[in-house]
Chains A and B, each alone.
Chain A
């Protein structure tokens, strides 16, 4: 199975700053089927990015995804208070689907 490794584990930033999250796959993700999910405490995950770079419905344009093959990035420009959460990458190009271990974006 494809192992996804996210870095850093925790990102401490202030509102208005830029967050850059990394997701590295142990092998190439087929068709760049890589998604990013946002999860807040006590809530279900929310889809933010799919297909490595497409924003899901309702996701503001300060969120952007990039990358291909084995290296992917989620960038959040000008962090808003509601963006502080845990973010998971998820590959759905190979069975079984797998998730990264998560990156927590916390208030500095």
Chain B
């Protein structure tokens, strides 16, 4: 069974940094593209970033490009999101998700970790 568990969320001041982690299990992690999607409190889903299976190709939403960096460690089955220059509007639950190789969309999601940007 696919299992994705996010961690690293918390309270951070505007302008600060935070690194999120996603521990993956139950599948061959190195074979799958992985992504981050966030959801502000009471709001809808917003795509944040994605990374190819080998880690060489990355994707970013316009709203986070140049501030966030996605990475992965296939030897540890871990996905990361380094977030910098954080703003109040980055406050959200951050979910990691797996892109299925057949359906080509996000088929498995973690429960998410809450990031709150506030002074």
Contact = CB atoms under 8 A, between A and B. Distances in A.
Interface of A: 1, 33, 35, 37, 39, 43-47, 50-51, 54, 56, 86, 88, 90, 92, 95-102
Given A1-B62, A95-B59, A96-B59, A47 B107 contact: yes
Interface residues of B, number: 21
Nearest to A34: B105
A33 B105 contact: yes
A100 B61 CA distance: 14
A47 B2 CA distance: 14
Contacts of B105: 33, 35, 47, 50, 90, 92
A98 B95 CA distance: 15
B7 to A, nearest CB: 15
Interface of B is mostly: strand
Nearest to B103: A50
Interface in B54-72: 59-62
A86 B43 CA distance: 11
Given A33-B104, A90-B105, A102-B45, 17 more contacts: A1-B61, A35-B103, A35-B106, A43-B111, A44-B95, A44-B111, A50-B104, A50-B107, A51-B103, A54-B103, A88-B44, A90-B45, A90-B106, A95-B59, A96-B60, A99-B37, A99-B44
